[in-house]
């Protein structure tokens, strides 16, 4: 049973990272694509073992986070980092309220991997 959870978690991380990274090879949209966060709620719910109420709330939070990240992508370069940090901070605070301790730790890992892969953290 534990091995199954580990494999599902690895698959979810890989699929989320691949989904986030899709289309980033286009040089014209590289900057904008780094800020596109189309999270698979299904993959995330499987990886975090969410119940239906959590799935609905996480989907709303992810939609808000994606919109805030797109707003950051079109902001002036001087404001961009602050907007990204604010969006991440809000996302984590919302997720902290929705998820239990174990789920939250896993979510933070997924988010950190994704942000690192996109070059949005320093």
pLDDT in tens, 62-117: 888 888 888 887 878 788 888 888 988 999 999 999 999 999 999 999 888 888 88
Residue 113 near residue 17, CB atoms below 8 Å: yes
Residue 87 near residue 72, CB atoms below 8 Å: yes
Q: Please name the residue that has the structure tokens 């073992």.
A: 49
Angstrom distance (rounded) from CA 96 to CA 107: 9
Burial 73-84 (b: 16+ CB within 10 A, else e): beeeeeebeebb
How large a percentage of the chain has pLDDT more than 90? Answer: 19
* DSSP state letters, 85-114: HHHHHHHHHHHHHHS-HHHHHHHHHHHHHH
pLDDT in tens, 84-97: 889 889 999 999 99
Neighbours of 109 (CB within 10 A): 13
Q: What pTM did the predictor assign?
A: 0.69
């Amino acid at each position: 049973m534990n091995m199954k959870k580990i494999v599902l978690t690895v698959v979810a991380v890989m699929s989320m990272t691949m989904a986030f990274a899709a289309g980033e090879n286009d040089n014209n949209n590289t900057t904008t694509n780094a800020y596109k966060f189309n999270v698979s709620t299904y993959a995330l719910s499987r990886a975090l073992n969410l119940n239906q109420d959590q799935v609905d709330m996480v989907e709303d939070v992810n939609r808000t986070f994606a919109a805030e990240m797109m707003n950051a992508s079109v902001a002036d370069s001087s404001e961009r980092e602050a907007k990204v940090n604010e969006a991440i901070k809000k996302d984590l605070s919302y997720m902290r309220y929705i998820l239990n301790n174990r789920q939250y730790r896993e979510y933070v890992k997924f988010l950190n991997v994704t942000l690192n892969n996109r070059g949005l953290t320093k």
